[in-house]
């Protein structure tokens, strides 16, 4: 199943008037903060760039206003970027239980995380093989039920290989800040995998915090490369389905 597509909506507005009144209602904010009134009395020249991106929601506002106040020209600028919180799914095998439980607590206390789904395993005595856990998590992301997934095993390698078997998923193993950054900004990877036997817990916690702060830019040069990855996947998956007599996953 292909992942839900992201949509971009943008608006460019020029203002040239003697009196400007704007009433903006932002439904992404609490009820007592939703309405914002912008009023400028006197000759006003301005320009506003506004864009919205879905899945997850992002809003970017850049506004420049020039007006005359008491005979003096006044120029003001305003910039705002709003990200919605993300839904995350977390999973591990018996070799990653300790880290998974610690990282879940961090996610629960992070305002950037709206919800967390734990697909197991619950304890180190549960010997469910990592491919089953990784695929379960990846399927939630691919179907749009979660935005991202965090997977832990001994090395972070097996869960990444397994998650990548789900069409539409881009899973990476990353144990340093630069790799985590590029996983999102260059590759639009939805799944981060780490190894409990490879990286220290404090570094793992820091990397997850950094990971939550990155968003892929659909207008970047990397977007075409990601689309090329997906096109190869579509072609190869279609060929595999035909070989198996139409039986997809």
Which position among 92, 153, 193, 249 bears the catalytic label?
Answer: 153
Q: Is 193 a catalytic residue?
A: no
> β-strand 113-118 against 191-195: which pairing, if any?
unpaired
Q: Which residue has the tokens 């009134």?
A: 37
The count of C-alpha atoms lying within 13 angstroms of the C-alpha of 62, restricted to the half-sphere facing its C-beta, is: 4
Contacts of 220-224 with C-beta under 8 Å, sequence gap 24+, read 220/185, 222/185, 222/186, 222/187, 222/188, 223/188
Contact 181, 206 (CB under 8 A): no
Compute CA 199 distance to the chain's CA centroid, rounded to the nearest angstrom: 23
- Using alpha carbons, list the distances in angstroms from residue 48 to 23, 67, 95, 150, 223: 14, 14, 52, 37, 26
> β-strand 191-195 against 148-153: which pairing, if any?
parallel
- Using alpha carbons, list the distances in angstroms from residue 166 to 100, 171, 211: 22, 10, 21
Contact 116, 104 (CB under 8 A): yes
Strand partners, 22: 38
Contact 48, 63 (CB under 8 A): yes
Catalytic sites, residue numbers: 153
């Amino acid at each position: 199943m292909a992942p839900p597509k992201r949509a971009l909506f943008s608006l460019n507005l020029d203002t040239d008037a003697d009196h400007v009144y704007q009433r903006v209602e932002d439904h992404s904010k609490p009820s007592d903060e939703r309405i914002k009134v912008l009023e400028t009395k006197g000759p006003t020249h301005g320009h506003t760039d506004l864009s919205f991106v879905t899945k997850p929601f992002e809003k970017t506002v850049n506004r420049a206003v020039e007006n005359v106040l008491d005979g003096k020209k006044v120029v003001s600028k305003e910039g705002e970027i709003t990200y919605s919180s993300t839904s995350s799914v977390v999973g591990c095998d018996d070799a990653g239980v300790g880290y998974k439980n610690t990282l879940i607590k961090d996610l629960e206390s992070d305002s950037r995380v709206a919800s967390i789904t734990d697909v197991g395993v619950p304890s180190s005595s549960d010997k469910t093989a990592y491919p089953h856990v990784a695929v379960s998590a990846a399927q939630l992301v691919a179907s749009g039920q979660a935005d991202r997934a965090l997977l832990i095993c001994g090395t972070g390698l097996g869960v990444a290989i397994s998650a990548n078997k789900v069409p539409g998923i881009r899973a990476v193993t990353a144990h340093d800040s630069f790799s985590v950054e590029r996983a999102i900004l260059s590759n639009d990877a939805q799944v981060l995998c780490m190894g409990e036997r490879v990286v220290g817990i404090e570094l793992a916690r820091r990397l997850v915090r950094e990971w939550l702060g990155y968003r892929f830019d659909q207008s970047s040069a990397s977007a075409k490369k990601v689309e090329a990855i997906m096109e190869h996947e579509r072609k190869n998956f279609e060929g595999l389905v035909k070989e198996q007599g139409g039986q997809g996953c």
